[in-house]
Structure 1
Amino acid sequence: MEMQQMRYVVAVAEERSFTRAAERCRVVQSALSHQVKALERELGVSLFARTSRRVELTPAGEAFLPAARASLAAAERAQVDAAAAAGEVRGALSIGLIPTVTAVDVPRALAEFHRAYPHVQIGLRGGGSDGFVSEIIAGRMDAAILGFPDDVRVTGVATRVLARERLVAVVPEGHPLAGPADAAGPAGVATLPRDGVRLADLAGETFADFPADTPGRAQSDRAFAAAGVRRDAAFEAMDVGLLLELVRNGLVVTIMARGLVAGQPGVRAVELADGPTRVEYLAWSAFNPSPAALAFLGFLERSDAAATPSPR
C-alpha cells in the first residue's frame, strides 16, 4: 500500500468523482483509476461503488477512509517536524477569525508572517467563537481569534487575552444621542456634555445585532438584562458591514467595538457608561501543536500588529 494510493482514495471520496479527483491530484484519470483498482486488489475489497454517473463509498470504503486520512496527516506531520528540526517551518496553518476582530491588524499580521515563514500554507475561516473552540478541540483548526463576554470562561483550549474593551453604541449621524457634529472625540466617539449615555437611554430604539445564541449577541443581551432594559433586536446579521449600513440608513442602532466604527461615514459611536465589555482571545490547542502553529503563536506574541486596547 502506497501513500499516493491513499491520497487518491481520499480525493475520490471527497470529490465523489474520479474525474474531479484526478484534476485535484493533477494526474490523468486513467493513472488514478489504475492505482485505486490496484489498492482494491491488494485489500481484497471494493472501496467504491461506480456507475458512469455516480461514485459512492462502499461500507469497506467508509471503514477505510478515516484511517487513510489519519495516515496521510501523520505522514505530512512527519515531514513538517523533520523540516522544523532542520530550522525550516512549513505545513498548513488553519486560522479562524470572528467578524469583529479589532485587537489584531489581520492583513498586516498575515503579510508579515508570510514573509517570515513563506513555506507555511495559511487557510482562513470565518465564523463564530463557539464553533472555533469546537474545531480547535477536534483538531480541525490550529488557532482562532475569539470574542466572548467578560464573564464567560473559555474552556477546552489554551487562550491568551488580546484585548478587553467596553463596547459603544453606534447611531446614525443626526441621532439625538450623537451629540453636536463637532463633538466627536478620538476614533469618532461622541463626547456628550453630560455624565454619559446609559443603556436605559436606548430603550425604545430598534436594534440590529448579531444572531441570537452567539457570543457576539450574548454580551449585549446580558448587559441590557443587567440594566433592566428591554430592547427590540429586529435585525440579525453576522456581517459587520451590513449592521453598519443599517445604522447609516437610520433604520437601527447597534452596539459593537469602537475599532469597527472608526472612520465609518454616516455613523457615530457613543460611549456607554454601563455598556458590555468584550474580551478578545487568541485560542489554540495546547495538545501537540504543529510547528506552523507554534510559529504563528510566537509571531503574534512578538508582533506589533497585535495591539491590545486599554480597558475602559
Structure 2
Amino acid sequence: MEKFNLRHLRAFQEVARCGSVSRASEQVFLSQPAITQALSKLERTLGTRLFLRKSTGMYLTEAGTTLHVRVERALELLASGARRAARAAGRGHHGGFQNFDQLLTTVQLRGLLALASTGNYSWAARTLGLSRPSIHRSINDIERIAGFEMFAKTAQGFELTQAGNLFRRSVLLAFEELRQGLEEIDLLLGHDTPRLAVGSLPLARSFILPKVINDLGVIRPEVRITVRDGSYSDLLHALRYGEIDLLVGALRSPLPFDDVEQEPLYTDRLAIVGRAGHPLAGRGDLDAKTLALFSWVTPSPDIPTRKHFDSLFSAAHVPAPTRLVESSSLVLTRGLLLGSDRLTIISRHQIARELDEGILAEIDFPLVGSEREIGVTTRSGWQPTTTQSLFVRMLRDVCAGLSR
C-alpha cells in the first residue's frame, strides 16, 4: 500500500465529486497546486490518466471511474471502522478527533497492521524496513488522534484491544479494496496479473476446486491463485479480515456473523464407505448395532459430518463406537480404509473416483437427514474483480453439473 497516499486519495475523491480542482480545494483544505500535484503523482504511480481536463471541468476516465469506485468503498470502510472502534472504546466527546480516520496516513496504518501481526515493535519495524522509533511514533500518533488505545501490553508483547481490532479489520478491508482497484486498472492497461485467494473446506478441495481452477487457468493463464485450507472458524476469520476473497464448502445455518453472506450451489449427501470387499459391502439388512461393531474414521466433533455420525447411533439408541481415528485428511482416511475394515461417513463426491474405480465401496445404509448445502461464502457487499466474478460463475457451473 506504499503506492497510495491517503491524502492524495481523498483529494482525488473530492475532485471526482466536484469536477473541479478549485471547488475540491475548499473541501479537503489543500491548495489548488497541492491537489494538482497529488493527482499528477497518483497518475504517474498508476501509469494512466485518471481525468480528462477540459475547460468545463475535470471528467473521470475509464481508469479513473474504476479507481473512484474502490476509493469510495475503501474510505467508507475506514470511516465506519473508526466509528465502531470509537464506540467500542467508549470514547467521550473530549477524547480524540470525531472523524479521526481522515487524519491518518498510510504509513501510520501500515505500522498498525505490522504491530498487530507481530506483537513486537522490533519485528514490526523489520517487516516494514523502518526504524523502531518510527513505528512507536506511528502508533502513538494513531492513539492520540483516535483518543483511545489500540494496543495493550501483555507478557507476550502487544495485543490489540477490542477497539483496536475493530479498526484493524476496517484497515485490512480498505487496503484490499485499493488492491483490487490496482488489479482492475492493470487489466484495463493490458497487464493481466490477477490474484485470487480462496478458502477451501474439505469437500471443495477434493473435486470442486481442482475442476474450477483448471478451467480458469485455460481462460486466464496468468492468474495467481492461493488456496488456503483450515477449519471453518479460521477460514471465516480470514474471509472477514480480507485475507481470502471467498470460502467454498459446506454452508452454516445460522451464520455466525451478519457481515458475511452465503450462496447455496448444490445439495450434498453423505454415505457410509469402506474398502472394496468389506464384510458389510453388498449387505442390505444392516442396522446401527452392526455398524457399531466396526472401527471408524471420523472428523473432529466440531465438523458437521461428525454430528451425523453421532446422531446415527443416538437415534437408534445404540452406544457409538469408541474405536475412532479422528481426522479430516482425505489422504489419511483413504489409506486407513484401504488397509483395514474401518468405516467412515463422507460425501460421495469426495471419493467419487475411488468408487468408480472399485477401490472403495458404499455401504447400503440410508443416512436420513444427511443432506447439506454446499456453496460459497463471501463478505456482505463484496464487489469482485473481473477475475473473481469469472471464478464464481465457473464455480456455479461446476456445482450445477454435480446437481444434475
Structures share fold, TM-score greater than 0.5:
yes
Match in the other structure for 1:183: none
Q: Which amino acid in 2 is paired with 1:107?
A: P
Match in the other structure for 2:247: 144
**Residues 1:243 and 2:329 are matched in the alignment:** no
Query: For structure 1, which segment, 205-214 or 127-136, has the greater mean C-alpha deviation from structure 2 after superposition?
Result: 127-136
User: Deviations for 1:141-200, whole angstroms, at most 9, x for unmatched residues?
Assistant: 54222326xxx845455333333343332223432223xxxxxxxxxxxxx4x7576656
Tell me the SS of whatever aligns to 1:283: strand
Match in the other structure for 2:273: 170
Q: Which amino acid in 2 is paired with 1:274?
A: P
1-side partners of 2:159 and 2:379: how far apart?
A: 37
Tell me the SS of whatever aligns to 1:176: coil
Match in the other structure for 1:301: 393
Indicate conservation of the 8 Å contact 1:205/1:252, yes or no: yes
Match in the other structure for 2:311: 222
Indicate conservation of the 8 Å contact 1:98/1:146, yes or no: yes
Q: Which amino acid in 2 is paired with 1:279?
A: R
**Residues 1:202 and 2:288 are matched in the alignment:** no
Indicate conservation of the 8 Å contact 1:199/1:272, yes or no: no
2-side partners of 1:310 and 1:58: how far apart?
A: 46
**Residues 1:67 and 2:167 are matched in the alignment:** yes
List gaps (5 residues or longer) in structure 2: 1-103
Query: For structure 1, which segment, 206-215 or 265-274, has the greater mean C-alpha deviation from structure 2 after superposition?
Result: 265-274
Match in the other structure for 2:204: 101
Q: Which amino acid in 2 is paired with 1:256?
A: I
User: Deviations for 1:32-61, whole angstroms, at most 9, x for unmatched residues?
Assistant: 3353255367569699999xxx994499x9
Shift of the alpha carbon at 1:252? 1.9
Tell me the SS of whatever aligns to 2:323: strand
Tell me the SS of whatever aligns to 2:354: coil
Query: 1:84 and 1:227, CA in 2 relative to 1: closer, same or farther beyond 3 A?
Result: farther
1-side partners of 2:143 and 2:263: how far apart?
A: 50
Match in the other structure for 1:279: 372
Shift of the alpha carbon at 1:210? 1.1
Query: For structure 1, which segment, 217-226 or 265-274, has the greater mean C-alpha deviation from structure 2 after superposition?
Result: 265-274
Tell me the SS of whatever aligns to 2:301: coil
TM-score, length-scaled by structure 1: 0.67
Shift of the alpha carbon at 1:82? 7.0
Indicate conservation of the 8 Å contact 1:13/1:56, yes or no: no
Indicate conservation of the 8 Å contact 1:208/1:233, yes or no: no
Indicate conservation of the 8 Å contact 1:100/1:240, yes or no: no
Shift of the alpha carbon at 1:214? 1.9
2-side partners of 1:16 and 1:102: how far apart?
A: 33
Indicate conservation of the 8 Å contact 2:111/2:124, yes or no: yes
Indicate conservation of the 8 Å contact 2:193/2:224, yes or no: yes
1:121-140 paired onto structure 2 within 5 Å: 122-129=225-232, 132=235
**Residues 1:256 and 2:346 are matched in the alignment:** yes
Q: Which amino acid in 1 is paired with 2:170?
A: A
Q: Which amino acid in 1 is paired with 2:300?
A: P
Match in the other structure for 1:212: 301
Q: Which amino acid in 2 is paired with 1:231?
A: A
Q: Which amino acid in 1 is paired with 2:349?
A: G
Tell me the SS of whatever aligns to 1:70: helix
Shift of the alpha carbon at 1:73? 3.6
Q: Which amino acid in 1 is paired with 2:134?
A: Q
Match in the other structure for 1:231: 320
Shift of the alpha carbon at 1:246? 2.1
Query: 1:208 and 1:162, CA in 2 relative to 1: closer, same or farther beyond 3 A?
Result: same
TM-score, length-scaled by structure 2: 0.54
Shift of the alpha carbon at 1:136? 5.0
Shift of the alpha carbon at 1:263? 3.0
Q: Which amino acid in 1 is paired with 2:354?
A: G
**Residues 1:16 and 2:119 are matched in the alignment:** yes
Tell me the SS of whatever aligns to 1:7: helix
Q: State the identity %.
A: 21
Q: Which amino acid in 2 is paired with 1:67?
A: F
Indicate conservation of the 8 Å contact 1:47/1:57, yes or no: no
Query: 1:119 and 1:3, CA in 2 relative to 1: closer, same or farther beyond 3 A?
Result: farther
Indicate conservation of the 8 Å contact 1:114/1:120, yes or no: yes
1-side partners of 2:143 and 2:362: how far apart?
A: 70
**Residues 1:288 and 2:388 are matched in the alignment:** no
Shift of the alpha carbon at 1:305? 4.5
1:23-38 paired onto structure 2 within 5 Å: 23-25=126-128, 27=129, 31-38=130-137
Q: Which amino acid in 1 is paired with 2:330?
A: V
Indicate conservation of the 8 Å contact 1:211/1:217, yes or no: yes
Indicate conservation of the 8 Å contact 1:209/1:255, yes or no: yes
Tell me the SS of whatever aligns to 1:177: coil
1-side partners of 2:169 and 2:205: how far apart?
A: 36
List gaps (5 residues or longer) in structure 1: 179-191
Which structure's CA Rg is the greater one?
A: 2
Indicate conservation of the 8 Å contact 1:171/1:252, yes or no: yes
2-side partners of 1:91 and 1:67: how far apart?
A: 27
> Which of structures 1 and 2 has the larger relative contact order (alpha carbons within 8 angstroms, sep 6+)?
1
1-side partners of 2:168 and 2:358: how far apart?
A: 54
Tell me the SS of whatever aligns to 1:161: strand
